[in-house]
Chain A
């Protein structure tokens, strides 16, 4: 200890702390997590509707595929458009997953605490969070595998190409698990969003919550059922088509040698 007693003005740490604007980053992270989850969930609704076009027939699905390849806009197919869209979704997923990591149990002690707590509490919304945690964890792998494949093989989407991948390519277990994970995780996540931010509850918050939880189960069931039917349809086509593996679906006008002709109303009809 110096006895010379040179005293600098004492720094009032508390005062400085009060003047400093505290970081706005946690607010941004919280909002970004919600926004990324919301966008992903809405995207998954659209995705399911497009994919399930196979239930209306091979041609319907083919038209959807060609639409996303820009065929009806540019008169030619550009699969890189699909890659671009996949890249955006992948980016969103990475962002969402990175932010969700803040909420994951950080170690064995925390994981044990939340599991024990859930078992003891027997409380619906606490269980739902655990489901979200595990399905989210599963999607690190399942969603990444799927998105990476689509990113690098954007042209391999179509009634036969997709069905062959599902069945002969052996992807169906991944799609089945991914379907379960996404539909549970997404609809629980949307319900949680409404509770977290206090949306759509109306005047009577308790009645609103009951309505929203019913809506959540309705949405889960609807998309799960639609998803299972859709996957079933691809598996069925995949089995029927296993001996013509590699052959691509064509509608009438495409059997013309020289590839896809210019699009006209009459040529679009199926042969």
Chain B
């Protein structure tokens, strides 16, 4: 026992981690408990690394940036999606249950393939600038109003961590639903003057029940987005624009 664990001011944490290896389908998924002492300022990222370093090197989870920018460490924390690197253990009870984000292909334990899902979504919704203009890298770009650039940047902050999909009841019921991350992309490119697509063309991408009309406004995305993106207002705005085409 370490000195710290005897001190009454240090909490002993139990992390129950859902272990599952899809490579070994015969081994059923199970919750495995790990114990460790809480350290000041400890995030789940730090706790998981400590467990992997000192207790079980086979534990799988994803991290890159440790600063809430890369979107790799999304997981279910006591049943709710969140980024491990941005979650302080001090804000959680001493029993913490961790599970992989639902709705994505499981790589193993807490590691899921959000990249594959995001790529599929991006290809389906064609979430890139569609422009017929020849790009000349030597020429100065057409300037943009700062307010507009701000607006686009606000939506561009999405890190595609997958928390909005894991927090969306609609997406959990219907796997083809584009989700807030996809609809936010469309809202973002709609704002961008460099993207020449008309609303008619965007309607083709999101004008059905797998797109914006599938959203049932459960607002899990809005309330659980680690980047606090204004998803509810964006989806409502997109819905108004797309619905307007229905009466023209």
Contacts and interface: CB of A to CB of B under 8 A. Distances in A.
Nearest to A130: B169
Contact of B173 (A18, A114, A125): A114
A118 B219 contact: no
Interface in B225-242: 230, 232-233, 236-237, 239-240, 242
| Dominant SS among interface residues on chain A | helix
Given A110-B173, A126-B169, A209-B232, A27 B242 contact: yes
Contacts of A23: 207-208
Contact of A125 (B174, B223, B242, B243): B223
27 contacts: A21-B200, A22-B208, A27-B207, A27-B213, A27-B246, A30-B239, A31-B243, A110-B174, A113-B172, A114-B173, A117-B172, A120-B76, A120-B79, A121-B169, A122-B79, A123-B167, A123-B224, A125-B218, A125-B223, A126-B219, A129-B169, A197-B236, A197-B240, A198-B237, A201-B233, A205-B232, A205-B233
Given A22-B204, A110-B173, A129 B213 contact: no
A196 B242 CA distance: 13
Contacts of B217: 125, 129, 192, 195-196
Contacts of A18: 201, 204
A84 interface: no
B216 A103 contact: yes
Contact of B246 (A28, A110, A201): A28
A26 interface: yes
Contacts of B201: 18
A24 interface: yes
Interface of A: 17-18, 21-24, 26-31, 102-103, 105, 110, 113-114, 117-123, 125-126, 129, 192, 195-198, 201, 205, 209
A117 B236 contact: no
Contacts of A201: 233
Contacts of B223: 123, 125
Given A22-B204, A24-B246, A121 B216 contact: no
B80 interface: yes
A113 B166 CA distance: 11
B239 A196 contact: yes
A123 B217 CA distance: 13
Contacts of A31: 243, 246-247
A18 B200 CA distance: 10
B220 A121 contact: yes
B229 to A, nearest CB: 12
A103 B173 CA distance: 10
A120 B102 CA distance: 12
A29 B215 CA distance: 13
A123 B220 contact: yes
